[in-house]
Amino acid sequence: MARKNKSQPAEEPGIPAQVNQPQGPSPSLEPILDESLDSLSALQLVDLLTQFYPHGSPRRTELGYLRRRVEELEVLNDQARQAVEKLDAAVTKLTAPANRVGTLLGLPKPEIALIINGGTEFYCSIDPRLSQSKLLVGTRILLNEAYVVIGDLGFETGGPVAKIQDLLPDGRLRVGQEGGMANTLVIRSANLGKEKLKPGLEIRLDSSQRVALEVVAGAQSRDHLLEAVPELPWEKVGGQDEARQAVRDAVELPLLHNDLFKAYNHTSPKGILLYGPPGCGKTLLGKATAYNLTRQLREKTGVDHREYFMHVKGPEILNMWVGESERQVRELFARAREKAKEGFLPFIFIDECESILGVRRAGRTSGILNTLVPMFCAEMDGIESLQQMVIILASNRADMIDPAILRPGRIDRKIKVSRPTKKGSEEIYRIYINPNLPLDPVLLKECGDDRQKAIDTIIEKIVDRQFSQREDNRFLEVTLRSGRHEYLHRGEMVSGAIIAGIVERAKETAIKRAISSPEPTGLSVKDFIDALDVEYKQNDIFPPNDITEDWLKLVDYDPENVVKLSPVKPRRVDASAII
Ligand code: ADP
């Protein structure tokens, strides 16, 4: 081994001190070549060679230089090797095959798991590094290429929902879906092991549909469709005499006189279609039907019949993801059947029904309509009579509804709900202007303190104003293909919703006045005239712009004959001139 000579001057850094050489032939590596030269690094070799030269020898200086270069190269080499190692690891990761994911069905033996993956079961070993007690039945399990369990991904969060039909003594569940999956037996996940379950509850299954994972929270959430029916005697639907009568004939008669219909072998419809412009009382008529029918049934049979009114908005169902729209419709009917069994009289009210039951070429092209219409027809064909449930469809584009829906034996009664006439409008105002409301003292005095006369005056003035054919009452300009211009006045665009809105606005103004005025005050004609102007400007029944397509939905014109429809800019009229 080399030993440092104390009497030597300081060496160049890194260069070993000269070895005490015996005098003799010139130094050579030869004696050690055979032995371990191959195992030395370049740096060690340089150091070894350096020892053979005396201090001050120019060779030593050259070797010192060589040593520094070799040292630099080794550092570079080291960095390059690390970079290659990193790349290597990345390539290994990128080219590694994906792990399979299965569902854990059970742990039949220590270190063995029963897994289902892609419909096939596997009896797999478990990586000893995994804690077996932490593997839960129903969780997603990670498998390597040899189908060894190498990880646990927890419970999945999605999956089909099914209803529990029956509970087996061994804990398994018989589940099924209305009109969908056939009944199957499933096991409980570790989460549901001790849960108290009962038939009728909805549960989520794993994607292989072998394990019940959880009770779907708020399975009763379908009640969100349930809408309260207020007290609504027929008199509260104003100005719709014909529609009212048609609804009563179509729904009330067959239900209340079922025996007679049977005796005459007369088929009754399964439901009705109410069509007409928005805000004219289609929903109101639907609810009034439910209210009056159940009341009369109660009176007739002495049984405590209650309505169960489900209000569905067509576009909301349509906007659901593929498959979900169908599920919702199926469930709607299932719910109605369930409620009928519980003694309710169920009503299914579908607003804007053309969006889901439209002619099959219209609307979405994704094929959804193709499945919804036949499905709806099949559900309807399954209903025996109105006794089971009443279906009410509402639309302002009746022409767009698939004719299959409107065939005899299905919804074959089409009832038009038109805009109220002047007389009809008076009736509706009368419904909303309650005789007990505070009235303007001046008006009352003019009417000889006769409240009814004062109310009549208000209604007469406001309706006259609304239906006036004067130029300042023009609301919509219609340009016809023939080049002719026609004007629709506000009265021709009236609806029950607008009238209700005008009354509410007038009340608001009177309330504000009452708050700030020390004198007694009440509803005046001016309040109504002002409210009329604002209501026509702000009611969201009317499209916010002049897109002809949107306005066409609100008028009775044949689209073929109309070139343009544009709202007339309102001109402010001094209410006092009218009063
Ligand atoms: P549609 O279903 O035809 O769009 P709605 O029945 O929802 O219209 O009417 C909206 C509101 O307008 C109702 O809640 C009611 O306050 C009022 N309304 C509409 N038509 C009438 C009517 N004929 N009689 C009384 N109120 C009406």
Asked if 234 and 378 sit in the same domain, the reply is yes
Pocket probe for ligand 1: among 284, 417, 539, 554, the residue whose CB has the most ligand atoms within 8 Å is: 284
Whose alpha carbon is nearest atom 8 of ligand 1? 279
Given a contact cutoff of 8 angstroms between Cβ atoms, the answer to whether 63 and 50 are in contact is yes
For residue 78, being part of any structural domain is answered with yes
How many Å apart are CA 401 and CA 394, to the nearest integer?
A: 10
Counted domains in the chain: 5
How many Å apart are CA 461 and CA 455, to the nearest integer?
A: 10
Whose alpha carbon is nearest atom 11 of ligand 1? 497
Cα 353 to ligand 1 centre (Å): 17
List ligand 1's pocket residues with C-beta within 6 A: 237-240, 278-284, 394, 428, 431, 496-497, 500
Asked if 388 and 355 sit in the same domain, the reply is yes
Cα 280 to ligand 1 centre (Å): 5
Asked if 494 and 476 sit in the same domain, the reply is yes
Cβ burial, residue 532 (10 Å; 0-12/13-18/19+) = buried
For residue 424, being part of any structural domain is answered with no
Given a contact cutoff of 8 angstroms between Cβ atoms, the answer to whether 70 and 109 are in contact is no
Give the end of a domain, one of 357, 385, 416.
Answer: 416
Cα 309 to ligand 1 centre (Å): 17
Cα 377 to ligand 1 centre (Å): 28
Domain that holds residue 168: 161-219
For residue 425, being part of any structural domain is answered with no
C-alpha Rg value of the chain to the nearest Å:
43
Whose alpha carbon is nearest atom 6 of ligand 1? 281
Given a contact cutoff of 8 angstroms between Cβ atoms, the answer to whether 115 and 141 are in contact is yes
Give the end of a domain, one of 125, 154, 183.
Answer: 154
Asked if 83 and 108 sit in the same domain, the reply is no
Cα 428 to ligand 1 centre (Å): 10
- Main-chain phi, psi angles of 153, to 5 degrees: -100, 10
Cα 415 to ligand 1 centre (Å): 15
pLDDT digit string (tens) for the chain, length 579 residues: 333 343 344 445 555 555 444 444 455 666 665 557 778 888 888 888 888 888 888 989 999 999 999 999 999 999 999 999 999 998 888 888 888 999 999 999 999 999 999 889 999 999 999 988 889 999 999 999 899 999 999 998 888 888 888 889 888 999 886 555 578 899 999 988 877 887 778 889 998 999 999 888 654 445 667 778 888 999 999 999 999 999 999 998 988 898 898 899 887 888 899 999 999 999 999 999 999 999 998 888 888 888 899 999 888 877 666 667 787 888 888 888 888 888 889 999 999 999 888 886 544 444 444 688 888 899 988 888 777 899 999 998 888 899 999 988 889 889 999 999 999 999 999 999 998 999 999 999 999 999 999 999 999 999 999 999 988 889 888 999 998 989 999 999 999 999 999 999 999 999 999 999 888 899 999 999 999 999 888 877 788 777 888 888 788 888 888 888 888 876 555 555 555
Cα 278 to ligand 1 centre (Å): 8
For residue 11, being part of any structural domain is answered with yes
| Three-point CA angle 532, 533, 536, nearest 5° | 80
For residue 195, being part of any structural domain is answered with yes
Ligand 1 atom with the smallest distance to the CA of 239 is: 23
Q: What does the DSSP assignment read for 240-258?
A: -HHHHHHHIIIIIHHHHTH
